[in-house]
Amino acid sequence: MGEPQPLEFDNPVGMLDDEDDATLARIDEGMAEIEAGQADALDELRREIAVRCSR
């Protein structure tokens, strides 16, 4: 078994094809809301998954 590659947080990977600017912006907004205490992270995530899976 080979050695795992170290994580490089200073050199982020570019956007993947299935990620668009709107998705990344919403992720940033959600993280800011969580950090500000405006959202319950787990419950919000469950609601968002349920909405997206029902489409």
User: pLDDT per residue over 24-54, tens digit each?
Assistant: 888 888 888 878 887 676 787 888 888 888 8
Q: Where in the chain are the domains?
A: 22-53
Decide if pLDDT at 15 tops 70.
Answer: no
Residues ≥6 apart with Cβ < 8 Å to 30: 39, 44
Q: Kindly indicate the confidence band of residue 16, based on its pLDDT and cuts at 50, 70 and 90.
A: low
* Rounded Cα gap, residues 55 and 38, in angstroms: 26
